[in-house]
Structures are given as C-alpha cells and as structure tokens.
Amino acid sequence: MSPSGFKMELSKRIEVFLTTGETQQSKTPSKRRSSSKTQAPLTLDTVIGKNHRCSQEVRAFFKEAIHPTFHFSTYIQNYFKENVGKTYRDAVKAWYEEEEERKKQPSYQKEIAPQFEYNRFIRDFFNDPKNKGKGRDDAIAAWKQLKLQPGSNQYRS
C-alpha cells in the first residue's frame, strides 16, 4: 500500500484494506521535493505559483508583513491554492479583508481541517453543553478513551 497522500486519503485506504483486503493507490500525485529555500527573496510582489508551499520562510515573511502572530489558517492556505498568479500583496490584502473581518463576527469559529482530529474533538467537547464546567484534563481523558475504541475519532455527546 502506498504511504503517500494526505492523511485523510491514507486513512480511507487503510479502512478499505482492513474491511475488504483490497489495496488502493494514492490519488494524490507524488510531488518532487525541491530545495526548501526560495530562489528569490520574498516580497509583496512575489507571485503565487502553482506549487506554492506554506514553508517556514513564507511564514516568516507573512509574520513580518501582517503580524507576528500570523499563522497559516485554512482560509489563507485555500487562498494560495485558488489564486495562482496573484501576488503576496494580494494575499496580505485578502488576509485583512476576510480573516480579520470574520473574527469580528460573534458567530466566528476558526475552521479546523479534518486531519486535525484531536483539535476538532477538544473544541467539540467544550462546545457540548453537557460538558459545561469541565476542564482541559476532562477533555483529554475523553479523547484518550475515544482513541481506545474502534471507529471514528469524532466527538460524540
């Protein structure tokens, strides 16, 4: 079985193998790793390329351009994927227009990508009214208990 691909894709291939005995190939084309360093220095005029990577170098650039607490949210990662040909200046503008504005909304809740099961579980645990007054240790204990069970790692009330 191919170990390549995204975590969720790999989990699905393992599930198919364990239930049917069939092996599947990765649907994600393998990427050639290039040097981790960008050839030219990053600027606001840097163009977002087709194979854009959210590297430590790119993170450092945006921490300086936007704010020291900048992080690669799902929103900004999707922006890079969907806006090939635009510049980092456009990405900074989009960050302020979308990301910061969304945070001001009372119903705003940061999206957690599916592969981050633990983080999703902890947030869902605390969002459950039945857990009002419980602490972090209670949430971690519930996560550890769930991990011992077969099946999904999604929070269930």
Model pLDDT for residues 55-104, shown as the tens digit of each residue: 999 999 999 999 888 888 888 888 999 999 999 999 999 988 877 677 77
Per-residue pLDDT reduced to its tens digit, 7-45: 778 888 888 888 898 888 777 665 555 444 546 899 999
SS3 label, residue 47: strand
Helix axes 117-127, 136-147, angle to 10 degrees: 130
pTM here? 0.50
